[in-house]
Amino acid sequence: MARIVKKPEERRKDIVTAARELFEAGDYKKTTMRDVMDMLGIAKGTIYHYFKSKEELLEAVVEDIIDEDIARREALLEVTPGNALERLRVLLTSSSMADEHGPLLTHLHDPGNVGMHTRLLAVAVERQARLLEGLIRQGCDEGIFETEHPLECAEFLLAGVQFLTDMGIYPWANEDLVRRAMAFPALIEAQLNAAEGSFRFLAEQL
């Protein structure tokens, strides 16, 4: 049988997909690079050409999850009618990556993965900000929001929420998290010059 030669991007995608399946089906800590190699029937030199360690492979898997989450949210917005605030409410109350991939994502909190965790939070903020920017621009056109810096507002808000509520970055007490969550609606309204109470729904989810 002729040997199948895949393009580098296809081979890398195969490795990430296989690793994600193994990581989510079992225990990430017990899964080895050999397990991924055996699943795909590839040589040691092949997998280590793309990923130098299991931690590097985990980072690629989480980036894949982030990309999938962004695509899901884009699809959700495409079928969500209404003004910017109504669409934002649907977006912000939809399921999150943590809801669907919690067990795997908890490994980002391991002490040795702090650098990776921070990098991936930055990736998530960057990619989500583009999505939020579009809704802020819509809101400005509709007179619901007012800002000359929609992208920067999106980045600022997302970075603040992501980093200040992530227990893997800061070991906050529960009361600290609740205090911040209760303040977020008013802070977002001030940032976007939105009507008072526009984002009250965020606090109501607590």
Question: Quick one: pLDDT at residue 95?
Answer: 78
Q: Are 6 and 74 contained in the same domain? A: no
Res 73: pLDDT? 93
Determine what percent of the chain is predicted with pLDDT higher than 90: 63
Residue 2 pLDDT greater than 50, yes or no: no
Model pLDDT for residues 166-178, shown as the tens digit of each residue: 877 777 888 988 8
Which residue carries 């910017």 as its tokens? 84
Query: Which pLDDT does position 22 carry in this prediction?
Result: 93
pLDDT for the residue numbered 16: 96
The last residue of a domain, from among 52, 69, 85: 52
Range of the domain at 39: 1-52
Question: Which one of 27, 52, 77 terminates a domain?
Answer: 52
Is a pLDDT exceeding 70 seen at residue 19? Answer: yes
Taking 70 as the threshold, does the pLDDT of residue 1 lie above it? no
One-character DSSP codes across the chain:
-PPP---HHHHHHHHHHHHHHHHHHS-TTT--HHHHHHHHT--HHHHHHH-SSHHHHHHHHHHHHHHHHHHHHHHHHHT--S-HHHHHHHHHHS--HHHHHHHHHGGGGSGGGHHHHHHHHHHHHHHHHHHHHHHHHHHHHHTS---S-HHHHHHHHHHHHHHHS-TTT----HHHHHHHHHHHHHHHHHHHTPPTTTTHHHHHT-
For residues 36 and 48, membership in a common domain is answered with: yes
Position 18 in a domain: yes
Looking at the structure, tell me whether residues 7 and 21 fall in a common domain.
Answer: yes
Q: Render pLDDT for 29-38 as a digit per residue (tens, 0 to 9).
A: 889 999 999 9
Query: Is residue 199 one of the residues assigned to a domain?
Result: no
Same domain, 60 and 38: no
Q: Is 171 part of a structural domain of the chain?
A: no
Q: Work out how many domains the chain is built from and give that number.
A: 2
Identify whether residues 61 and 157 lie together within a single domain. yes
Of 85, 99, 98, 162, whose CA–CA distance to 128 is shortest? 162
Residues 157 and 88 in one domain: yes
Higher pLDDT, 105 or 186: 186
72 and 129 both lie in a single domain:
yes
Q: Are residues 62 and 116 in the same domain?
A: yes
CATH number at residue 5: 1.10.10
pLDDT per position as a tens digit, 142-159: 999 999 999 999 999 999
Q: Are residues 46 and 71 in the same domain?
A: no
Together in a domain, 38 and 99:
no
Full-model pTM: 0.84
Size (the chain), residues: 206
pLDDT, one tens digit per residue, over 23-80 is 988 778 889 999 999 999 999 999 999 999 999 999 999 999 999 999 999 999 999 9
Q: Is residue 70 located within the same domain as residue 133?
A: yes
Q: Which amino acid is at 200?
A: R
Residue 202 within any structural domain of the chain? no
If one counts every other C-beta atom within 10 angstroms of the C-beta of residue 57, the result is 23
